[in-house]
Amino acid sequence: MKFNTLLAGAVSVFALLASQTVNAKSVTDEDISNSAKATDQVVTNGLGTQGQRYSTLDKINPATISKLQPVWAFSFGGEKMRGQEAQPLVQDGTIYVTGSYSRMFAVDVHTGQKKWQYEARLPDDILPCCDVVNRGAALYDNLVIFGTLDAKLIALDKETGKVVWKKDIEDYTGGYSYTAAPLIVKGKVITGVSGGEFGIVGKVEARDAKTGELIWSRPTVEGHMGMLNGKDNGITGVTNASWPGDLWKSGGAAPWLGGTYDPETNLIYMGTGQPGPWNSHIRPGDNLYSSSTLAIDPETGKIVWSYQTTPHDGWDFDGVNEFVSFDLNKDGKTIKAGATASRNGFFFVLDRTNGKFISATPFVSKITWAKGYTKDGRPEYIDDNRPGAPTADGQKGKVVFSAPSFLGGKNWMPMAYSQDTKLFYVPSNEWGMDIWNEPVSYKRGAAYLGAGFTIKPLYDDHIGVLRAIDPSTGKIVWEYNNKAPLWGGVLATKGNVVFTGTPEGYLKAFNAKTGAEVWKFNTGSGVVGSPITWEENGEQYVAVLSGWGGAVPLWGGEVAKQVKDINQGGMLWVFKLPKS
């Protein structure tokens, strides 16, 4: 009897401890809301839903960084070594990170030991545009949620890696795919789609994060019907208002990079891709809502405001780059602002409450397609630099040299904002392209470009440039030139340090105020992922993925030839600053 009583008591204690452990491991809405200030975990892509990629940690600084050392490295293994573009997440002793070919890994923070691995069973006929990359996951409750190249959204149990739910985002045979890190907003998982090169119709959707059930869907091409709780929820824009004929039915505008969320305005910010096809002469008009930043109500999926960075895009400049919320001090006033560094070469600052245009300033050395922007935020086109229409007998149109190239003044790789220096740190590239238009017609699941191109570097000694930009003036405060293109994300810290990676294999750190290089470590393959930092037991850690790939070696023309000898890889590197 006494034994049974003791056993029952032990079981009760064990059950209590187990329930406490489960609760400790759950990621809550409060965790996500506070993620920008948390120092002991990284539970959101962007180190906070606003996407500033700023950490309040300062143990690693220019005076101490020489002591930063590798702790362990974890190999993704296998033969699936292509571009590793993800940002890791860290919570409760585990790092969660996605790899190329839609893989997910859970790794012990302290030892580098794999806890579990999940590999999506991808069909042979997937249609990814720009390598088989995956840019990360989302954590919520006891789930880790990520998307796959065959356009599925999968939720795994964080402890076991077992599938909890799986949903189709779209039909991959129509050209759809998914590569972004999902965004969690008030218990909803927010996703876009990839596939703008295939004449798909872009959309932003919200699902119940615990079940995967669809709540709302908002098309990002004018003329398509939205949905809320299974019912029609209004057409996006006005049918044919900015699209001729039926071209809106295959209009692209894919929000393929994912979004940010600002709790102060209660708005989701999503960037959209180029209109389809690239040949702009087929589709006169602004072609809403392509190449735009959209502000979306998270409860209804309605578009609250929009701003189009490149109306009637004819260069594949997109508008998909991340929109980062920050407070702008200008003329003695504090403005709730947001910024995006566009592929078209301009750095934009908008009022994030209403989308009002504040400024657009060049952040690359050469822009040939526009002279600038009007006070109303409209581009002043240089008409001679738009690729010519194909001839009546079906020959390609006039070839023009355009800068930036369609790979952009800045592509997908996320910038960072420092709350200390009030500067944005933008990974940019100096290249242009010969581009021309060709005849094209839409066919489901086939490339829908109507254009040809050859990318060329602008300078012999560098392509990549890390730039520190003052958003109040557009002034470039400092810049660092890199021989190869920059294709990885940036991290800023209170320790006056900025981290980013290079294709040459280095994770590098710079003085945030001066741009002086203060540390570097070669990881063995190109770094195109996004670094993170956190603190544990009084020690500051840094982690980053290493593994060369992405769009540059696939689409880079003459630039691709320059980087063809960079070895591929798939490693998660973790560093720390020891207490001693």
Enzyme catalytic residues: 316
Least Cα distance to 99 among 124, 117, 121 occurs for 117
Using the CB atoms, write b or e for 419-428: b if 16+ within 10 Å: eebebbbbbb
Q: Which helix H or strand E contains 383, and what residues bound it?
A: none
Query: Can you say whether residue 149 is alpha, beta or left, with left for phi > 0 and alpha for psi between -120 and 50 degrees?
Result: alpha
Residues composing the chain: 580
State residue 161 phi and psi, 5-degree precision: 80, 5
CB count in 10 Å sphere of residue 116: 16
Rounded-to-integer distance, Cα 339 and Cα 445, Å: 34
Q: Are 330 and 323 in contact (CB under 8 A)?
A: no
Q: Are 202 and 252 in contact (CB under 8 A)?
A: yes
Using the CB atoms, write b or e for 524-552: b if 16+ within 10 Å: ebbbbbbbbbbbeeeebbbbbbbbbbbbb
DSSP letter, residue 198 = G
Strand partners, 91: 94
Least Cα distance to 100 among 145, 129, 134 occurs for 134
Query: What is the DSSP pairing of strand 114-119 with strand 103-108?
Result: antiparallel
Rounded-to-integer distance, Cα 314 and Cα 492, Å: 34
Least Cα distance to 411 among 257, 566, 515, 194 occurs for 257
